[in-house]
Structure 1
Amino acid sequence: MIVRIVKMGFHENSVDAFLKNFEANKFQIRGFNGCNFLELYRDKHNPTVFFTYSYWDSEEDLQCYRKSDLFKAVWAKTKPLFNIKPEAWSLDKLESLE
């Protein structure tokens, strides 16, 4: 399993557009083959910074999503809204306590 975290910062006047785009596509992203979990977080102290947190069955599934028409359409609307370069991490989960 791959854990994917993406940090994104937006221009203040672009936050609503980002949230609308996420809302319109979240179920398709979550339903994409290999995606088992999707969450969106907002920074507690900087309301223009967001993180997506997702679980993928494999690196191949994540790459298939990143090459998909869905990703291209979502990213095309998201990318112009950034005020900082996005950062992304692919991680292996080692332990989880509940």
Structure 2
Amino acid sequence: MIVRIVKMSFHEENIPAFRENFELMKEKIRNAPGNRFLELYQDRNNPCIFFTYSYWDSDNDLENYRQSELFYDVWAFTKKLFNAKPEAWSVDKLVSLQ
């Protein structure tokens, strides 16, 4: 399993548009083949910074999503709203305490 973390920073006036679009697209993203989990977080100290956490079955599933029309649509809309370059990491979960 791959955990994908994406950090995005938005112009304050663009946050409502981002949130609205995320609400429209979240189920489609979550139901992409190989996606097992999707959450959105907002920084407590800087409300312009958001993170997505998603779990993918494999590198192949993540890459297929990144090459999909769905990703293109989501990213084409979202990237216009940024105030800084986004950052992304693909990581392996080592420990989980629940």
Q: TM-score, normalised by structure 1?
A: 0.99
Show the counterpart of 1:88: 88
Distance 2:25 2:78 in 1: 12
- Is there any run of 5+ residues in structure 2 with no aligned partner, and where? none
**Deviating 4+ runs (over 2 angstroms):** none
| Deviation digits for residues 38-82 of structure 1 (CA, Å, limit 9, x no counterpart) | 000000011110000000000000000000000000001000100
Show the counterpart of 2:65: 65
Show the counterpart of 2:10: 10
- Is there any run of 5+ residues in structure 1 with no aligned partner, and where? none
Distance 2:64 2:7 in 1: 20
Q: How many residues align?
A: 98
Distance 1:15 1:8 in 2: 11
Aligned runs of 1:27-38 on 2, under 5 Å? 27-38=27-38
Q: TM-score, normalised by structure 2?
A: 0.99
Distance 1:75 1:6 in 2: 12
Show the counterpart of 2:24: 24
Q: Identical aligned pairs, as a percentage?
A: 64
